[in-house]
């Protein structure tokens, strides 16, 4: 589970940011939770001292105490080296301090200028994508980045809705089929295979299928027909394995 921390000295803004995060976690059905939302940087550091976490941190730069948000981020990294950190500030110029401290950030959000809700949502999906690619079995959602009319977006799709992945005719791109929608994103099939749980099976050099979406197997033609009549070529030696997986699913159900 991805732990999310918020440190903001303005109580009303702390409440607002926390509610936005809670809303997005529920909406995207993510394995994440708000662990601490506080006005005190010491509270976060005390928690990290006693607990090992993989965290996403939303930090106000000016905390009006003996430690600013950038110094807090530096301290957080001593406990959580791979921390995902997003800075929130009213003063865009203060973000230059992050370079002075050498703190790498996931995002820099400026109050009153940026659409905070949208940026927070993007940060959550971005951090969750990076987090889930380093965790294992049964993930609820598959998160990926893709370009739509030259605009880069991050998408989160329930794994249960994914039909298959195919190698695209465009170099270094993968096609994702979900329902009647097809997305295209940059990745190799071998890398993708390592990120997916055991309901997904690489049936050839050009496709990974969701075994739970199989409708029929045509051994003579060497194809598998999936939901929405999506067909995928299958290497002959893989058909036996697919049948074994289907039997396992039937027995466990």
pLDDT for the residue numbered 139 = 61
Taking only Cα atoms into account, the Rg of the chain, rounded to an integer number of angstroms, comes to 22
Q: What is the pLDDT of residues 208-245, one digit of tens each?
A: 999 999 999 998 899 999 999 999 999 888 888 888 77
First CA to last CA distance, the chain: 26
Q: What is the pLDDT of residues 74-101, one digit of tens each?
A: 899 888 888 899 998 876 665 555 555 5
As assigned by CATH, the class of the 157-252 domain is mainly beta
Q: Are 123 and 58 in contact (CB under 8 A)?
A: yes
- 90 SS3 class: coil
Q: What is the pLDDT of residues 13-66, one digit of tens each?
A: 999 999 999 999 988 878 899 999 999 999 999 999 999 888 999 999 888 888
Separation CA 222–CA 232 (nearest Å) = 9
Domain boundaries of the chain, sorted by first residue = 2-132, 157-252
In CATH, 2-132 is 3.10.20.90: no
């Amino acid at each position: 589970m991805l732990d999310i921390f918020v440190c903001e000295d303005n109580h009303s803004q702390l409440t607002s940011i926390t509610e936005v995060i809670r809303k997005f976690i529920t909406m995207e059905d993510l394995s994440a939770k708000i662990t601490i939302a506080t006005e005190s940087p010491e509270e976060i550091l005390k928690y990290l001292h006693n607990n090992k976490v993989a965290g996403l941190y939303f930090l106000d730069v000016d905390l009006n105490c003996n430690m600013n948000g950038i110094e807090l981020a530096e301290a957080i990294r001593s406990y959580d080296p791979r921390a995902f950190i997003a800075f929130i500030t009213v003063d865009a110029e203060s973000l230059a301090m992050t370079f002075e401290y050498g703190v790498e950030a996931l995002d820099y959000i400026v109050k009153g200028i940026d659409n905070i809700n949208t940026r927070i949502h993007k940060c959550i999906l971005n951090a969750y994508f990076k987090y889930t690619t380093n965790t294992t079995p049964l993930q609820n959602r598959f998160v990926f980045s893709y370009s739509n009319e030259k605009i880069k977006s991050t998408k989160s799709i329930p794994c249960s809705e994914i039909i298959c992945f195919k190698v695209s005719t465009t170099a270094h791109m993968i096609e994702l089929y979900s329902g009647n929608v097809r997305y295209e994103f940059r990745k190799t099939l071998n890398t993708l295979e390592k990120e997916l749980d055991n309901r997904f099976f690489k049936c050839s050099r050009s496709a990974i299928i969701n075994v739970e979406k199989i409708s029929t197997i045509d051994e003579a033609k060497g194809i598998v027909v999936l939901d929405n009549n999506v067909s995928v070529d299958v290497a002959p030696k893989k058909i036996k394995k697919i049948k074994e997986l289907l039997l396992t699913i039937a027995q466990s159900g």
